[in-house]
Amino acid sequence: GAGVSQTPSNKVTEKGKYVELRCDPISGHTALYWYRQSLGQGPEFLIYFQGTGAADDSGLPNDRFFAVRPEGSVSTLKIQRTERGDSAVYLCASSLTLDTEQFFGPGTRLTVL
């Protein structure tokens, strides 16, 4: 079956621009997570959805970052006024429940020039 997919795989943008990163979770998975992985670091938790609602967004670094999951499936991570420090790989994961394995997508590599 299909795993977690993320688009685009690579995104290059200029400082100050707006970007959207998309995540398609495994069908039927109610839990969805976004992580950010900077160069030489492990993934860092950003936000978690249970269904359509953001159950925990405590990891979002500031109010330029926002994520939605309007129908409880696909999620979009939105970054406004991008900064060079936002350059990283953004990972999405999904799981059936809170107590089951998280399956990760291949990530979107964001480069802010």
| Residues forming beta bridges with residue 22, ordered by sequence position | 7, 76
**DSSP assignment string, 35-81:** EEE-TTS--EEEEEEETTEEEE-TT--STTEEEE-TTSS-EEEEESS
CA atoms of 73 and 2, how far apart (whole Å): 14
Q: Which of residues 33-92 bind other proteins (CB under 8 A)?
A: 33, 35, 40-46, 48, 50, 55-56, 58-59, 91
How many residues bind other proteins (CB under 8 A)? The answer is 32
Residue 104 beta carbon to other proteins: minimum distance, rounded to whole angstroms: 4
Shortest reach from residue 16's CB to other proteins, in Å: 29
Contacting residues toward other proteins, per CB under 8 A: 3-4, 31, 33, 35, 40-46, 48, 50, 55-56, 58-59, 91, 93, 95, 97-107
